[in-house]
Amino acid sequence: MNFIIEQVYFVSDCVQWSEILKYFEYTDIYHAFEYVNLESARIGGSPSIAIIQMSTGFIGIPLIFRKIPNESRYIDAVSVYGYNGVLTSASIETADFISGVDKIKTALAQRNCVSFFNRESNFSSYRLPDSIQAGKVLGVDLTQTPEAYEQSLPRRIRQQVRALRKLNYTVTQSSAPENILEFCEVYKETMLRRNAAAHYFFSYDYFNTLLNINQKNLSLKTVYHEGKMICGAIFATEGDHLYYMFSGSLIDVTPYPAIRLVFDEVILENLNKGKKILHLGGGFGGAEDSLYQFKNFFGKIVLPFYVTRWILLPEIYHSLSANANSADTFFPKYRSP
């Protein structure tokens, strides 16, 4: 695909998208067309990647365009569920990066895009301007020795994991339709138990499509007891990084939470195998809640979680938000629940 220097393009074609990703220093599951397309279908939007070629390299931002309720003229944009960030060529210079991002913002506004919300990646070379820290995420060092990893775990967690293994609980991997269906039910029960917001619920079709995007790089790890799934987790691998994406578990069916066994097994499998870090994410909405504390048992690397909130058409944004709760921090405000 040929580009005019300093002109912004919005690409939605799968083949072109895959070719465009080759221009960038770092990409992962969250930038793949298949994943952005899956997310677009889930939230009722359309996938696109904004790309611009500057004199020293390329800049790209995968995003999802959404119709604004009760609006025929204006749209907004959001990143996928996960850690999207901004893509850059290894050669891009800071001045070109800043100038190129400004041109992308202008191009979005010219498309009547009112706002853009983006979750930043911890592994991109650049963050989008005006990004702010909204919490913390955790990671596991996969370059450490098994002994160092074991010593990093709280004694209680080490004892519980060993006890589960002695009781013959084992971690298996399968993406067969029946396993995905069972995982979907376990995940749903988990979200209901946590009183999770509606956007944290995902369908069987979503999980099935996700796990079949790239069967080599996506896996469903599960633990069964007496023929019934008691927990499961989905992991994605890309380059030298591993991502924890989803998990669900039943309670009061094992002496200790079996999901801890899943995490331990996946970490041990990947220590010193060419991966640098297992990215665990954080708590709900970046909070240091019980989910964050659970991940903190395993993840000793603390990373900042940044988000970007661009208001591209201020007058339209404030007009659409006129009836929203002024104390609500939800972004964009006009979509606050």
What is residue 139's predicted lDDT score, i.e. its pLDDT? 97
Three-state DSSP state, 78: strand
Q: What DSSP string describes 203-270?
A: -HHHHHHHHTT-TTTEEEEEEEETTEEEEEEEEEEETTEEEEEEEEE-SSSSSS-THHHHHHHHHHHH
Give the confidence band of 244 by pLDDT, cuts at 50, 70, 90: very high
Chain mean pLDDT for the chain: 94
pLDDT for residue 290 = 86
Domains of the chain are 8-134+306-335 (3.40.630.30), 143-275 (3.40.630.30)
Cβ density class 270-280: b for 16+ within 10 Å, e for less: bbeeebbbbbb
Closest CA to 217 of 25, 34, 18: 34
Of the listed ranges 12-16, 226-230, 231-235, the least confidently predicted one is 226-230
% of the chain with per-residue pLDDT over 90? 85
H helices of 111-212, in order, are 146-152, 155-166, 177-193, 204-211
pLDDT digits (tens, 9 = 90+) for 165-214: 999 999 999 889 999 999 999 999 999 998 888 888 999 999 999 999 87
Structure confidence at residue 50 as a pLDDT band (50, 70, 90): very high
Cβ contact 83:98 at 8 Å? no
What is the structure's pLDDT at 220?
A: 97
Please identify which residue in the block is written with the tokens 């907004």: 76
Cα 275 to chain centroid distance, Å, stands at: 18
**pLDDT confidence of residue 327:** 67
Q: Give me the mean pLDDT over the 122-128 stretch.
A: 95
Mean pLDDT is lowest, of 23-37, 63-77, 195-209, for 195-209
Distances (CA, A) of 288 to 75, 201, 214, 283: 33, 21, 32, 6
Report the pLDDT averaged over residues 305-324: 95
Mean pLDDT of 97-104: 98
Q: What is the pLDDT of residue 134?
A: 93
pLDDT confidence of 289, banded at 50, 70, 90? confident
46, 40 Cβ separation under 8 angstroms: yes
**84 falls in which pLDDT band (50, 70, 90)?**
very high
Check: CB of residue 222 under 8 Å from CB of residue 172. Answer: yes
**What is the tens place of the pLDDT at every residue in 316-336?**
999 999 988 866 788 999 998
Angle between helices 204-211 and 177-193 (to 10 degrees): 130
Which helix (H) or strand (E) segment is 309 a member of? strand 301-311
Q: Quick check: 132 and 306 in contact, CB under 8 A?
A: yes
pLDDT at 202: 93
The yes-or-no verdict on residue 287 having pLDDT over 90 is no
Weakest mean pLDDT among 52-56, 156-160, 243-247, 326-330: 326-330
